[in-house]
Structure 1
Amino acid sequence: MFWVLFLLVAWAGVLTSCTLLLRAASRAAEPPAGAAAPYHHHELNLYEAAYLAGGPGRVADLTLLSMHRQRRLLLAHTGWATVLDPVGRDAHERSVLGAFGPDGQSPVPDLRSAVAAGDAVRALAERLGEAGLAPPADAALGVGEGVRAVRAATLLVLAMAGAALAAPTGGSTTTIVLGWFALPLLLGAGCLAIARFETHPYSRWASPAGQRLLHALERERAAGEPLTAAAVRGTRAVAEPELRAALRCGNRGRIPGQRGH
């Protein structure tokens, strides 16, 4: 009956990881404490809409696009940006301007990274999380770690089952051994299914409430307002090919026509 030791190890791994995952999924499903009054879609500003639709990178794209359309920043299709007006009108614009070098020029990928990682975007994310429009970052991280733990435990069960079959079974048949190991395997698979069902209503950036606001905003304003369309749909909503190419340089992390970057 030496194989029973392998079975105990498999159960210990599955039970521990499933407990972590279920706790994390439960925390992610709870509404934030002290949530603000419900938003209406017309109360969302464009930065908030951009974050809910595409996260920090979308906020960066929107900021660059807005400054370009106001002729305060020049975005070239080569992937470089030039300052035309050095005065930022809000925290996001100041993040952009602070990323420029002394010559007033910078690659678009550097600007996107600076805005996405800036304090303004972090404050925006916290505000949306407190309002229940975005899933808390720690909750999403906890669920991800729990899922990885259960997957690892599932592989552990398979490994322990293989080891048990290779060890002396003490008269137990292969069917009996595999039947016992099927139980922790089913528990792990069930926990993964539950976690997927519980967290499915959430996108990476917007909670179900945030998604509903985005859909309403898109129906009412995205068709007639280019900046709203870009906030909700991303760079594919930008009509000008050269401007779209300039913004997408940041997504690819490569600057066309430049070497050594």
Structure 2
Amino acid sequence: MVWVPLLLVACVAAGAGCVRVCRAALAAARPREVPGGAEDLTVCEAAYLSGGPLRVTDLTLVSMHRARRLLLAHTGWATVVDASGGGDGLERAVLGAIGPGGQSPVRAVRPVVAAAESVRLLADGLVERGLAVPEEGRRALAAGVRAARAGFLLTLTLGTVAVLLVPEGGRGPVVAAFALPLTGSGLCLLIGLVEVFPYTRWASPAGQRLLAGLSRADPLTALATRGPAVLEPELRAALKGWEGPRK
């Protein structure tokens, strides 16, 4: 019965991972009181709920490009065309990230804008309205998925070692004993990867309901909710940030 201690360790690891995933999922899905007026969702708010700060950045860049305030080249460069008027906080963050030279690679602009104060204020407002998952909730979800993955891999490893320690004729009970923690940790990992983590990373259940009710007819709304895949190839190439030769 040398494999019994390995089974106990596997059960503890698998159980810990499952508990973390379940607790994080329940916390993210817990309903919150939504203040009056929270049913109004701007396109920038929809972008954050769908894809986070980088989605907001992409939306702002494309919006400025279509307003002819910015030129997004397929080579991955952003060039300021019209810096007058200042725009809103997000547009000012884009202009500030590009810098006084008026031109910068998109791949250098995106992370700077995503970390800007205007994006943080947008996120804070959505959290206060109960539409976005708080930062600590996102960290808990990510940590839960990591714990479930670690528990699954450790259980699989310990089960393999235990099977090898037992003579071939007596391996059936060992496999059956390790099947329970392995199945439990695997299911929790699957739930975390397929159901919990992608769909509640940014939007709370209330936010997801609002996103589901948005019309995708408007090109900017489609970009906000579905990402750069809806854009024409030139803009998709620009947002990928491929830095081609400057002309």
Q: Same fold (TM over 0.5)?
A: yes
**CA distance 1:257–1:188, shift in 2 (3 Å):** same
Q: Distance in 2 between matches of 1:187 and 1:76?
A: 49
**CA distance 1:159–1:256, shift in 2 (3 Å):** same
| 8 Å contact kept, 2:70–2:78 | no
**CA distance 1:6–1:233, shift in 2 (3 Å):** closer
**CA distance 1:209–1:69, shift in 2 (3 Å):** same
Q: Distance in 1 between matches of 2:41 and 2:190?
A: 34
**Higher Cα radius of gyration:** 1
Q: Distance in 2 between matches of 1:27 and 1:163?
A: 36
Among 146, 149, 164, which residue is 2:147 paired with? Answer: 149
- Superposition deviation, residue 195 in structure 1: 4.6
Counterpart of 1:135, as a letter, is: V
- Superposition deviation, residue 106 in structure 1: 1.9
Name 2:126's counterpart in structure 1. Answer: 128
Among 234, 238, 242, which residue is 1:245 paired with? Answer: 234
- Superposition deviation, residue 107 in structure 1: 2.2
Counterpart of 2:51, as a letter, is: G
Among 181, 185, 210, which residue is 1:184 paired with? Answer: 181
**Which segments of 5 or more consecutive residues in structure 1 lack a partner in the other structure?**
none
- Superposition deviation, residue 197 in structure 1: 7.9
Among 116, 120, 124, which residue is 2:114 paired with? Answer: 116
Q: Distance in 2 between matches of 1:11 and 1:231?
A: 43
| 1:62-102 Cα distance to aligned partner (Å, 9 max, x none) | 22233334443343444331242244222111111111233
RMSD: 3.1
Between 108-117 and 185-194, the greater mean CA deviation after superposition: 185-194
Aligned with 1:44: secondary structure?
Answer: coil
Q: Distance in 2 between matches of 1:150 and 1:200?
A: 12
**CA distance 1:153–1:71, shift in 2 (3 Å):** closer
Among 59, 68, 72, which residue is 1:75 paired with? Answer: 72
**CA distance 1:202–1:258, shift in 2 (3 Å):** same
Aligned with 2:55: secondary structure?
Answer: helix
| 8 Å contact kept, 2:58–2:110 | yes
Paired residues in the alignment total 246
Give the TM-score normalised by the residue count of structure 2.
0.82
Q: Distance in 2 between matches of 1:138 and 1:94?
A: 28
- Superposition deviation, residue 152 in structure 1: 1.8
User: 2:61 aligned with 1:61, yes or no?
Assistant: no
% identical aligned pairs? 47
Q: Distance in 1 between matches of 2:91 and 2:56?
A: 11
Name 2:35's counterpart in structure 1. Answer: 36
Counterpart of 1:7, as a letter, is: L
Counterpart of 2:243, as a letter, is: I
